[in-house]
Every structure is written in C-alpha cells, then in structure tokens.
Amino acid sequence: MSLLMVNDRLTLGDKFKGTVRYIGKIKSKDGKWIGLELDEPVGANNGSVNGIRYFHCKDKHGIFIRYEKIREGLVCESRGVSADGKISRDQTHLYELKIKKLEETIESLKSTEKEEIVELRKENEEIKRIVLSLREGINSKKIDRDGRIYLELKELVEGSRKHISDMVGLVSDIDEILNRNKLANRKSVQECERHRVMFLVKRIIDSVLDDNIEAAENFKGEFVNIMKKYGINVE
C-alpha cells in the first residue's frame, strides 16, 4: 500500500468506501488516526470527536480508523494516480491541455492589452493636436480680436466639434481602462471628472463663440489640470 494522503480514495471491506479527509492525532486518543468521509451514511459521526471537529462532512458520513489498521490488502486509490503511484496517461494529457489553454489565454490578453495601449496613444496625440490648436487660436485671438485671426478661430472651433466629441469618448475609455487596472475604488470620482470634462469643453467653445476670453481661459485651466491627472499634457 502506498503512503496515504488527504483526498486519497480508500475502501475498507464491502461497507466503508470514501475519501481521506484527515490524517493525524485525536485528542484523548493514542496513536495516529485517519478521518474518512464515507460515500454512504454508514459512519459514526460528522467529522468530529468529543466536540472537536477534525474535518467537515454530513452526519453519519464520518469515521475514524487507526492508521496502523490500514494494511496490505485494502484498496487505496489516489485521484489520478495508478496503483504503482504514477499519474495516469489520461490525467497527464488533461493537465497538458489545461496548461496549454491557460498559456493561450495569457497570450491573448497580452496582445489585446498592447493593441489598446497603441490605440490610446494615437488618440492621445490627436487630442494634444486639437487642444494645441484651440490654445494657439485663443492666444492669437487676444492679439487681433476683431481681425482675420478671430474669424479663423471661430471657424476652427466650429470645425473641431467632432474632434471634441471624440475626445470626450476617449475620456470615457480612460475611465474604463483605469477600472480594468483595479482602480474601481476611484470610479465615482472618475465619473464626476468625466462629466466635468464634457461640461468644460462645451463651456470653452461657448465662451470663444461669445467673445468671452476670460471665461474661456478659466475653463481651459481646469480642463488642463484634469487631463494631466490621466497623463495627457495639453500645456
């Protein structure tokens, strides 16, 4: 008989058949004991002796046997292990399949993450370009508010509405990626900031169209600070 281990299968005669759940000493009893969870309710306890629990099982499914009574001739079947102590070929093949599937899953996750990072960087560069154009336009507007540059700035703002919408969508993507990286405890703060960014972008556009440069600068300052928190430099 091979060395018994927890979770091994054990058969004692025709009556007792079950799974080894405990190997060790029992209080107030001498020697080494085996706690067996029986397949059928033909046992004497629920895994406890004199009020002390050694393993968990249903009532009358537990039994304790002295270790030395487990001798040659009793059937001991380790899960996935043959009589000579070797892992079966089918069990080995199953383990290999599980390992291969796990490796494929890991590689797939790595590939997806890399693609998302590349796409995020591209969109980040586009945001920088748009914000830089707006900032340059606002600064130029201070110099020649009533001239040709001011008119071009209004056209730039009108033509940038679609890009601003894309930028707001990117802010939502940033929120989603942060959540994937286990920052869910900041979700409520990020949600408020996302809505705040959408509000600030709208107010910047409205202030420029209304010729209110001071208000546009104030809203832009708050917008820049929020974007910096997510690694997007729009200075």
pLDDT at 87: 56
And the tokens for 207?
């202030």
The confidence band for 206, taking pLDDT boundaries of 50, 70 and 90, is confident
The confidence band for 72, taking pLDDT boundaries of 50, 70 and 90, is very low
With a cut of 60, say whether residue 73 has pLDDT above it: no
Q: How far apart are CA 81 and CA 94, in angstroms?
A: 13
pLDDT at 110: 81
- Tally of residues, the chain: 235
With a cut of 80, say whether residue 29 has pLDDT above it: yes
**Sign of the CA dihedral with 106 first, then 112, 115, and 116 last:** negative
Which residue, 106, 10, 101, 107, is CA-closest to 64?
A: 10
pLDDT digits (tens, 9 = 90+) for 131-165: 888 877 776 666 555 566 667 666 766 666 655 66
The mean of the pLDDT values for the chain is 77
- Per the DSSP assignment, residues forming a β-bridge with 81 are 87
Helix or strand or coil: residue 38?
Answer: strand
And the tokens for 126?
């586009």
Mean pLDDT across the stretch 188-198?
76
User: What phi, psi does 54 have (nearest 5°)?
Assistant: -110, -25
And the tokens for 180?
């994937």
Number of other CB atoms surrounding residue 160 within 10 Å: 19
pLDDT digits (tens, 9 = 90+) for 77-94: 544 555 455 555 556 667
Which residue, 70, 68, 62, is CA-closest to 11?
A: 70
The confidence band for 57, taking pLDDT boundaries of 50, 70 and 90, is very high
DSSP secondary structure code for residue 81 in this structure: B
Share of the chain above pLDDT 70, in %: 66
pLDDT digits (tens, 9 = 90+) for 103-134: 888 888 888 877 888 788 888 788 888 888 88
Give yes or no for a contact between 16 and 36, defined as CB atoms under 8 angstroms apart: yes
- Please state, in angstroms and as integers, the Cα–Cα distance from residue 19 to each residue in 15, 49, 79, 127, following that order: 14, 18, 10, 63
Helix axes of 187-209 and 161-180: crossing angle, nearest 10 degrees: 170
Longest alpha-carbon distance in the chain: 104
pLDDT digits (tens, 9 = 90+) for 3-14: 788 999 988 877
The confidence band for 1, taking pLDDT boundaries of 50, 70 and 90, is very low
Task: Give pTM, 2 decimals.
Answer: 0.34
